[in-house]
Amino acid sequence: MTSDSRIAPLTLPDTRARRIVEQLLAGSGVTLNGNQPWDLRVYHPDFFSRVLHQGTLGLGEAYMDGWWECDRIDEMACRLLLHGLGERAHTPTERLMYRLQSGFFNLQSKARAYIVGEAHYDLGNDLFERMLDPTMCYSCGYWKEAKTLHEAQRAKLELACRKLELRPGMRVLDIGCGWGSFAEHAARHHGVEVTGITISREQAALARKRCAGLPVEIRLQDYRELEGHFERIVSIGMFEHVGHRNYPTYFATVERLLAEDGLFLLHTIGSNSSEITADPWINKYIFPNGVLPSAADIAATSEARLLMEDWQNFGADYDRTLMAWLANVDERWHEIAANYNERTRRMFRYYLSACAGGFRARHLQLWQVVFSRGRLGRYDAPR
């Protein structure tokens, strides 16, 4: 079954679970088996009990299994979040278990650091090459003046370079370099020497290939193992994997590695709340052990180490970025369909669509924060 399927949906069962789901949806603008693009069409009689018992994990898995369909999951997710169903959609057991785990265990310890790389980023370069633009940026683009995904990603890379005030010959550290997008751009267009680290073998291999011939070194390494001295440090789309227990260590590491008059740019998704939570479906299928920082988390754990020079929020741009990735997946999936099953395709469609809805509803943010070690003089961040 595909996302544009027009197979007749199931006749809704007259059950208590169905009535409860309808009550939860009432007033959201989302209806069951409706005619709007954001309406939810049901194809399995156990859908309602599955969602009530398993929350967002059950909702996502049910979509992967073809139990329900929706033409615009992004719009559905946005409406449900604006209706206040975000936290209520997580079962009490899910919330309690994650908080207990996060409180008693360091889910992002050095011993566990490579789990997300193996589970998500190592899934296959062929998939990400088709989903992303030619820069291979797997983070929010900057759409202020951009009209295409490629323009938005190049604008984001250049914005980061300008905020860092790069000059030829500088030594730059890229924490969480991904497929080498920033390292390649900064070395090629600003003449700097870049050391990039990643926890994904697939990313490291492709990043080395893409940066061949440039003054770029790509390492498969955890940030806590770093040594050296750098005039500039950048971290784009990696802080989400650090974990709240490790924030002090992260900022201490940056302080130790950053030159006295250096600059550090942190680019991260942010949460509106300091409460430690994670969506169970995202945690299981996309980013294991991920935690989104709040503004308070970043401020409190950095203040003893670094001086905050600038803070910019362009979270609304992640909506457009995710929808562009979704369009690429839909348009080019046939090129890699033999390498992945239908459940994986639906997993990516659900992930990209639901996250776009989250940013559209302003439940998620995207921050670029610039820090120094207290250097003298005025700092004016470009926009």
CB 328 within 8 A of CB 131: yes
| pLDDT for the residue 289 | 77
| pLDDT for the residue 103 | 47
Amino acid at the residue 269: I
Report the distance separating Cα 224 and Cα 178, nearest Å. Answer: 17
| pLDDT for the residue 276 | 79
**Whether residue 34 has pLDDT greater than 50:** yes
| pLDDT for the residue 121 | 65
Helix (H, G, I), strand (E, B) or coil at 128: helix
| pLDDT for the residue 172 | 98
Q: For the residues 313-329, what does the mean pLDDT come to?
A: 98
By C-alpha distance, which of 14, 5, 115 is closest to 68?
A: 5
Report the distance separating Cα 231 and Cα 173, nearest Å. Answer: 8
Angle between the N-to-C axes of helices 47-64 and 16-25, in degrees from 0 to 180, rounded to the nearest 10: 70
Residue 70 falls in the annotated catalytic set: no
| pLDDT for the residue 7 | 83
Identify the H or E element spanning 246.
Answer: none
Look-up: residue for tokens 């000059």? Answer: 167
pTM: 0.90
Report the distance separating Cα 218 and Cα 194, nearest Å. Answer: 8
| pLDDT for the residue 288 | 82
**DSSP state letters, 160-185:** HHHHTT--TT-EEEEET-TTTHHHHH
Domains of the chain by residue range = 16-101, 110-372
By C-alpha distance, which of 111, 110, 87 is closest to 99?
A: 87
Amino acid at the residue 341: N
pLDDT band for position 123 (cuts 50, 70, 90)? confident
Q: Pick 1 or 88 by higher pLDDT.
A: 88
CB 290 within 8 A of CB 262: no
First to last CA, the chain: 44
Measured CA to CA in angstroms, residue 18 lies from 238, 310, 359 at distances of 40, 49, 28
pLDDT band for position 104 (cuts 50, 70, 90)? very low
CB 59 within 8 A of CB 89: yes
Reply yes or no on domain 110-372 having CATH 3.40.50.150. Answer: yes
Region of residue 42 (left: phi > 0; alpha: psi -120 to 50; beta: else): beta
| pLDDT for the residue 287 | 84
In the chain, what percentage of residues exceed pLDDT 90?
Answer: 82
| pLDDT for the residue 124 | 82
Q: For the residues 64-71, what does the mean pLDDT come to?
A: 98
Amino acid at the residue 241: H
CB 319 within 8 A of CB 356: yes
- Half-sphere CA count of 29, side-chain side, radius 13 A: 14
Q: For the residues 230-249, what does the mean pLDDT come to?
A: 95
- Give CA angle at 188 (182, 191), nearest 5°: 100
Q: Dihedral of CA 316/319/320/325: which sign? A: positive
Mean residue pLDDT across the chain: 91
Exposure b/e, 282-320, CB count within 10 A at least 16 = b: bbebbbbbbbbbbbebbeebbeebbeebbebebbebbbb
Say which range, 108-122, 201-215, 333-347, has the weakest mean pLDDT: 108-122
- pLDDT tens per residue across span 36-61: 999 999 999 999 999 999 999 999 99
Tokens of 139: 């983070």
Say which range, 96-110, 219-233, 355-369, has the weakest mean pLDDT: 96-110
Say which range, 159-163, 240-244, 322-326, has the weakest mean pLDDT: 240-244
By C-alpha distance, which of 71, 75, 64 is closest to 9?
A: 71
pLDDT band for position 290 (cuts 50, 70, 90)? confident
pLDDT band for position 119 (cuts 50, 70, 90)? low
Q: For the residues 83-110, what does the mean pLDDT come to?
A: 54
Report the distance separating Cα 249 and Cα 253, nearest Å. Answer: 6
Look-up: residue for tokens 């439940």? Answer: 363
Q: Pick 177 or 90 by higher pLDDT.
A: 177
- pLDDT tens per residue across span 373-383: 999 999 999 99
- Give CA angle at 205 (200, 206), nearest 5°: 100
pLDDT band for position 118 (cuts 50, 70, 90)? low
**Whether residue 107 has pLDDT greater than 80:** no
